[in-house]
Each structure stands twice: as structure tokens, then as C-alpha cells.
Chain A
Amino acid sequence: MTRDEIAAMFARRDDAYEEMDSAALAADYADDAVIYSPAGGVHQGREAERTFHAIFTAFADNQRRVEHLLIDGSRVAEVLTLEGTNLGGLMGLPASGKHFKVPAVFLYDLSGGKIVRERRLYDFTGMLVQIGVLKARPA
């Protein structure tokens, strides 16, 4: 893919995230893509739609603001802020109504116009504390 094609793909994904369009987001993955997600666990591209749906159900006001998009050949890094309110419950727990905001980096490997690997990195434990799934205190 050219740099312009990659930039267009990620602009389209931004729109899909805004619309919480799980199917459109999942369509960008190869079936056997590997997605490393703190919230969704390690899963394959064919499972991406279900995982996106679960995240959008948990955080119905989900927002992501991309600050930088780095394109280096077939590798991409998004530097972004994730934000949302736990309106739909998570990990089997009822909704807490609590808000979270964390900086994050999402890394992608592309091949044949598809995402073949994605790794999402952020303070997941801090996010769970912010939304009330975990309680943390000094040891």
C-alpha cells in the first residue's frame, strides 16, 4: 500500500470508530490477523467484530482522539487518547457509570491491504481503576 492509501484507510477507520461501526472496522483485518488488546485479550481478525461490539457496548460514548499517525512502510503507529464512560458493564460486572481517559498507542502491521497484526498499549490497570472495576490502594 502507498502512504496515501494507508492514510486514507486510517482516516476511514477514524470515521468508523466515531460511528462505532464494528463491521466496518473488522473488515480491515485479515481473518488470521492477531490483535493484542488489553480489554479484548489476544484474538484473531475473524473475531474482531465481536470484540469491537463488546467494547462499544461497554463504552457507548467511546471517544478516541488521534494525535499522531506515523506511517513507516507497512507499519503504522497511532498515538491517541481513549476516553469513555462505563455505561454497559465490562468483564461481567454491571455498569459503573464511571469515566476513564488514558493515553494510548496502537501499532499495526499491514499486508495486502489488510491489518495482519495490531497491538494496543495503554495503562489498562489504571483504566480499570478509573471505571471502578478494580480498587487500588497502597500496599
Chain B
Amino acid sequence: MTHEEIVELFDRRLKAMNGHDVGAFTATYAETAVVESPLGGTHQGRAAIGSVVEAFLDALSDATFTEDDLVIDGDQVVQVFTLSGTDTGGLMGMAASGKPAMLPMVVVCRVADGLIVHERRIYDFTGMLVQIGVLKAKPA
């Protein structure tokens, strides 16, 4: 893929995230794509990828994502964006807390034939759970 094609793919992916359009989001992945996620663990295939992101967007129903950085080198891509949202639907089996979360997130991806074939999500997952009230943290 060219640099421009990769930029377009990740623009489309971000638009799908902001539109909470799970179908358009999963369409940016290969059928056999593998995603490693703090929330969803390692999962494979568009159906599983869609289920994990749907659970996330159901929990943070006002979630928005703003791109901070996009670094492309060959078939490797790092995209950094800031998540802002409120726990209106409950995450990980918990009741909705109504608490907001704002944090940077990174996806490290490999692309092929116009699609994402591997993705690893890296972010302060524990901090996010504390922000929305799933976890309580205190000094040891």
C-alpha cells in the first residue's frame, strides 16, 4: 500500500469510530485479522473485532476519538488518538458509573492489501478503569 492509501485507511477507521459505525470499522480489517487488546484480549476475525468495539462503544456511548499522531513505515503503522467519553452503559459487567474518561490510546498495526491484518492496542487501561470507576486505586 502507498503512504496515501494507508493515511486514507486510518482516516476512514477513525471516522467509523467517531460515527460509532461498527460495520464500517470492522470493514477496515482483513477477515482473519488478529487484534491484541487490553479490554478484549487476543481475538481474531471481523465478528470478534466488532463485538469488542461494540461493547466499548455501548459502555462509552458519547466516545469521541481525536487523532494526535500517525507514523507510517512500510506496512507498519502507529496511530495515536485521544479518547474522550463517559461511562453511560457500563463496562466489564459493571453498572454505568456516569464518570468521564480522557486518555491517549495507541494502535500498532500491520497492513496488507488495503486492510489491517494485525493490531495491538496500548494505553493506560488500568488508569481508564480507575477514571470510569470500575477500579478504585489508592497509594499502597
Chain A residues close to B by CB (< 8 Å): 38, 68-72, 75-77, 79, 93, 96, 103-105, 107, 119, 121-126, 128-129, 132-139
Asked whether B140 lies within 8 Å of A133 as measured between CB atoms, the reply is: yes
- A139 and B127 within 8 A (CB): no
Q: How far is the CA of A139 from the CA of B97 in the complex (A)?
A: 10
Q: How many A-B pairs fall under 8 Å by CB?
A: 99
CA distance A134 to B136 in the complex (A): 10
Closest Cβ of chain B: how far from A94's Cβ, in Å? 10
A selection of 19 A-B contacts at a CB cut-off of 8 Å is A72-B71, A72-B73, A105-B80, A105-B108, A107-B78, A121-B80, A121-B122, A121-B123, A123-B122, A123-B126, A123-B127, A135-B138, A135-B140, A136-B136, A137-B136, A138-B134, A139-B94, A139-B97, A139-B133
Separation of A75 and B76 alpha carbons in the complex (Å) = 14
**Would you call B122 and A77 a contact (CB within 8 A)?**
no
Q: Which residue of A lies closest to B70 (CB)?
A: A72
**Which of A68, A93, A126, A137 lies in contact with B124, CB distance below 8 A?**
A126
Sorted nearest first, the 10 A-B pairs with minimum C-beta distance are A125-B127, A70-B73, A126-B126, A125-B126, A77-B78, A77-B71, A136-B137, A105-B106, A72-B71, A136-B135
Which residues of chain A come closer than 8 Å to B77, judged between CB atoms? Answer: 70
Q: When A38-B124, A103-B120, A105-B122 are in contact, do A72 and B72 touch as well, CB less than 8 Å?
A: yes
